[in-house]
Amino acid sequence: MTTVSNLGFPRIGAKRELKRALEAHWRGETTPQQLHDTARALRERHWRLQYAAGADLVPCNDFSLYDQVLDTAFALDAIPERYRALADADPLAGYFALARGLQREGIDVHALEMTKWFDTNYHYLVPELHAQQTFRLRGDKAVGEFLEAKALGVKARPVLLGPVSFLLLSKTVDGSDRLALLARLLPVYAEWLGRLREAGADWVQIDEPCLVQDLDEDDRAAYRTAYDALAAAARPKLLLATYFGALEDNLAFAAALPADGLHVDLVRAPAQLDAVLDALPPRHVLSLGLVDGRNVWRTDLDRALALAQRAHARIGGERLQLAPSCSLLHVPIDATLETALPADLRGWLGFARQKLEELRTLADALNGLGSARSTLEQARERYATRASSPKVHRAEVAARLAALADVPTRRGSPYPQRRLAQARRFGLPPFPTTTIGSFPQTQQVREARAGHRAGKLSDADYEAFLEAETARCVRFQEEIGLDVLVHGEFERNDMVEYFGEQLDGFAFTRNGWVQSYGSRCVKPPILYGDVQRPAPMTVRWSRYAQSLTERPMKGMLTGPVTVLQWSFVRDDQPRETTCRQVALALRDEVLDLEAAGIGVIQIDEPALREGLPLRRAHWRAYLEWAVECFRIAAAGVADHTQVHTHMCYSEFNDIIEAVAAMDADVISIETSRSRMELLEAFVRFRYPNGIGPGVYDIHSPRVPEQAEMSALLEKAGAVLAPEQLWVNPDCGLKTRGWPETRRALTAMVSAAQALRAT
Ligand code: GLN
Ligand code: ZN
C-alpha cells in the first residue's frame, strides 16, 4: 500500500494564533505555561487536521515557537556565550533572546543574524559557532513532541535538521571551518536519534536540503562521514529528505548514503525521477514530493499520478510514499476559508489542507480504490476551467507579449549622453541628496487607511488626509534642503500589494498568511492571471506632489521582479513570462509618469537578488530575464528622464554586471550597516552610472551624526568617482518616526554640503 506522509505543517495557525500568543507573551501578558498551552493546542489541532485530510503519517518536531534552525542549535547547545547564563537560568527567555535580542536590567544582547531559508521568503536564524564549539543535548523538544503525539494516538515521524545542513547553514564567528565541527557533532546526533528510538519512533525524517545545492568535495566527504557514523548508531530508520530542487550531480552519492529512505522534490524537478529510481538502493523507501509545498495552486493530478505510477511500476507500493515537495510551512492552511474570493479562483487554490487531500486521492488511485476516480475527474474539470478561464488568459496581453520583440529595451542614448541631458534639465549640485521613497507611516496614517478600508472614512476625506500628509512631507524636504524629493508613499500599505490591487491578474486572500520569521507573517498577493493595467496607478499622487514644488519630484514604482518575487505566482506558465507581463504594465506607468511631467522615476527592485536560483548554473538565465524585465519597464523614456532603482542589500559582488546591465541612471543601495564593505564590488568592477551608497541605517532607531555619514561618504569616494556619487539613506523611512527622521536627514544634507565645499 502506498501511503501519504507529510514533511511539515504551518505552525502559525489559520488565524495566526501562535503569533498572537507569542506577542502577548513577549509583552509580558502571559506566562510561559499559557504560551506552551496554546502551542500544544495548535499541534494537536494540526495533527488531527492532517489526518482528517488523508495523511497516513504526520510530522512532529516540525513545530517551532520561532524557527526550526534555532530549535536545532538550541537542542544541540550551540548557544553563544552572550546568551548562556540566561538560557541556563530561564531556557524560554534564553531561546527568545537568541531570536530577538534582549535589552533589560543591565542585559544587552543582540539577536542571531537572520537570513533567507534557501530561495523562500522564510527567514531562519543563523547559528553562531566557533572552533572550540562543543555540543550536547539540551531540553527534550523532539522527544517531547513525539510523546505528546503518541499520547494523542497520533503516530508521528519526528523531523530533524540533518547534521551537515545544520553546519552548512551556520556560520563560524572566528573564521574557522564549520565542517571541522562534524566529528564533535555526530555523537550528539547519534544520542538524539537513540532517544527518539527509545521513545518509540521507528522513522525519523532527517532534512538535508543542502543536497540540492552546489557542493564541493569537502561537503560531500562531510555527508559520507556523517551518515556512515549515524548508520552505526542504534537509531530509528532515516528518511533523508531533499527539497527545493534536483539532486543532479549529488544524486548518486546522496542515494548511496546509508539511510533507509530518500525524499525527492518532483515539483521543482520532475525530470529527476528516472535517475532517482535507477540510483535508489534496493530496500530504500522512496518519498515522492508530488504537490507543491511552495505555492498555492491545486495540482495537475494526472501529471502527478503519472509520475507516481512510474515509480510504482518500478518499486511497488510498499516502499512508496507520497508527500508534498517540501514542508507545507510555506503555504497557508485552508483555501476553503477564502469565501470572499470568486468561487472559480478559490477552486483553483490548494493550501496545506487541500494539498494533503490531493495526495490522498493520488495514493487511493495508486492503491486501486475506485472512489479516487470521481475525485480525479472533479479535479480534472476544475483544472480545465482554470486553463480556459478568460480571467486567466487575456487575448490583449498575449498579443502584447507576442509583439515584445518590437519594444525597445535600450534607452535612446548611452549613459554619458543621458547624463548630460539630465544635468541640463535638473541642474543638480554635485553629491545630490535624495531619499528612497517612503516617509514615516505614523499611527495616524495607518489609522486613516484602516478607517477608509472599513468605510468609516469617506473617499474624499481620505484623499484630503493623504494630500495634507504629502504636502507636509514635500515642505519638510524643501525645508531641510533635499535636492530630489519624493511624495512619501502615505497612500501605500505595502509596496507590492499597492500595485497588485490596481492591476488585473492579482487577488488577495483574507487568511492566506505564511510565516516570514518568528511571529511575523506575510500575506502574499496571488498572481493568478494575465497582468494588465486598466488605469494609471501612481500618476495622481506624483503629479500632485510635483505641483507643490519646483524641485524634481521622484515617481515611485515597484519593479517587475520584486512584484513577482513577493507574490504567489501562477504556475501554468514560466515565471519569466509572468514577469514580462508585469514589466509591460509598469512600462505604461513609467510613460504616463513621464508624460505627466515627472522627470525622475525610481523603480525599486529590492528582491532582485533573492530571486537567484539555488544552483549557480541557473543564475545566468535568471539574471538575463530579470534584467530584461527591468529594462522593459524602464527603457521607454527620453534621455532627459532620469531612471533610478533601489536595492536593499549589500551582497553585490556576484551580480554587479547584471546590475550594471539594468542601466538605471542612478542606483541606491544598502551599505551603512556593512560600513561600505560592499564597495569592494566596485573596486573590481567599474560601475559606470550614478550610485547612492546608503549612509544612514534606517533599520535602527539610532540617529547617525553628520561626521559618521561624512566618513562613509569619504570611504565611498575612495572607490567611486565624485560625479557618480549620490547621498541618500539605506532604504525607505516608513518604519521611522518624524523627529529622528528630521535629525538624521538634516545631518545627511549637511554631510553632502560639507563634501561640496571641499
Ligand atoms: N520605495 C520603497 C520605500 O521607500 C522601497 C522599499 C524597499 O526597498 N523595500 O519604502
Ligand atoms: Zn530598501
Write the DSSP string, 628-641. Answer: HHHHHHHTTS-TTS
For a ligand 1 pocket test, name from 438, 489, 565, 699 the mutation site with the most ligand atoms within 8 angstroms of its C-beta. Answer: 438
Which has the closest alpha carbon to 96: 77, 109, 78? 109
**Residue written as cell 518624524?**
738
Q: How distant, in Å, are the alpha carbons of 18, 36, 55, 416 from that of 149? A: 19, 15, 15, 67
CATH numbers and ranges of domains, the chain = 3-388 (3.20.20.210), 418-502+537-757 (3.20.20.210)
Ligand 2 centre and the CA of 439: distance in Å? 13
Q: What end-to-end distance do the CA atoms of the chain give, in Å? A: 79
For a ligand 1 pocket test, name from 434, 435, 436 the mutation site with the most ligand atoms within 8 angstroms of its C-beta. Answer: 436
CB of 646 shorter than 6 A to ligand 1: yes
**Nearest-CA residue for atom 4 of ligand 1:** 732
The answer to whether the CB of 301 falls within 8 A of the CB of 364 is no
**Cα dihedral 629, 631, 637, 639 in deg (nearest 10):** 170
CB of 670 shorter than 6 A to ligand 1: no
CB of 556 shorter than 6 A to ligand 1: yes
**Nearest-CA residue for atom 10 of ligand 1:** 732
**Nearest-CA residue for atom 6 of ligand 1:** 732
Which has the closest alpha carbon to 409: 573, 597, 586? 586
Ligand 1 centre and the CA of 286: distance in Å? 45
472 contact partners, CB below 8 Å, separation of at least 6: none
The secondary structure of 364-375 as a DSSP string is HHHTT-THHHHH
Order of strands across the sheet that contains 3-4: 3-4, 320-324, 285-291, 261-265, 237-241, 203-207, 156-161, 58-60
Q: Ligand 1, residue 436: give the atom nearest the CA.
A: 4
**Cα dihedral 289, 290, 291, 293 in deg (nearest 10):** 20
Q: Ligand 1, residue 732: give the atom nearest the CA.
A: 4
Cβ-in-10-Å burial (0-12, 13-18, 19+) of 374 comes to exposed
Whole-angstrom Cα distance, residue 34 to residue 519?
16
**Residue written as cell 512631507?**
473
**Residue written as cell 494523542?**
152
For position 547, what pLDDT does the model report? 98
CB of 208 shorter than 6 A to ligand 1: no
Which has the closest alpha carbon to 352: 1, 2, 12? 12
For residue 724, how far is the Cα from the chain centroid? 32
Whole-angstrom Cα distance, residue 303 to residue 119?
25
For position 649, what pLDDT does the model report? 73
Q: Output the nine-digit C-alpha cell for 90.
A: 530561564
For position 676, what pLDDT does the model report? 66
Cross-strand bridge partners of residue 172: 129
For position 104, what pLDDT does the model report? 80
Known catalytic membership, residue 699:
yes
CB of 437 shorter than 6 A to ligand 1: yes
CB of 644 shorter than 6 A to ligand 1: no
245 contact partners, CB below 8 Å, separation of at least 6: 212, 213, 265, 268, 269, 614, 615
Whole-angstrom Cα distance, residue 286 to residue 311?
9
The answer to whether the CB of 126 falls within 8 A of the CB of 112 is yes
Q: Output the nine-digit C-alpha cell for 332.
A: 497557508
The answer to whether the CB of 9 falls within 8 A of the CB of 356 is no
Angle at CA 613, nearest 5°, toward 609 and 619?
80
For a ligand 1 pocket test, name from 538, 731, 741 the mutation site with the most ligand atoms within 8 angstroms of its C-beta. Answer: 731
Whole-angstrom Cα distance, residue 433 to residue 440?
18
CB of 554 shorter than 6 A to ligand 1: no
**Residue written as cell 517531547?**
144
CB of 537 shorter than 6 A to ligand 1: no
CB of 694 shorter than 6 A to ligand 1: no
For position 681, what pLDDT does the model report? 82
Question: In the 8-state DSSP scheme, what is residue 209?
Answer: G
Any idea which ligand is nearest the CA of 649? Answer: 2
Cross-strand bridge partners of residue 600: 554, 642
The active-site residue, picked from 284, 393, 640, 699, is: 699
For residue 191, how far is the Cα from the chain centroid? 34
For position 384, what pLDDT does the model report? 94
For a ligand 1 pocket test, name from 491, 522, 586, 604 the mutation site with the most ligand atoms within 8 angstroms of its C-beta. Answer: 604
Whole-angstrom Cα distance, residue 717 to residue 358?
58
For position 509, what pLDDT does the model report? 97
For position 678, what pLDDT does the model report? 67
**b (16+ CB within 10 A) / e for 148-183:** bbeeeebbbbbbbbbbbbbbbbbbbeeeeebbebbe
Query: What are the mean pLDDT values of the chain's consecutive 10-residue runs (758 residues total)?
Result: 98 96 97 98 98 98 98 98 94 95 81 92 96 97 98 96 98 96 98 98 98 98 98 95 98 97 98 98 97 98 98 97 98 97 97 98 97 96 95 97 95 98 98 98 96 97 98 98 98 95 97 95 96 98 98 98 98 98 98 98 95 96 98 98 91 89 96 72 89 89 90 92 96 94 98 95
Whole-angstrom Cα distance, residue 519 to residue 21?
9
Q: Ligand 1, residue 648: give the atom nearest the CA.
A: 8
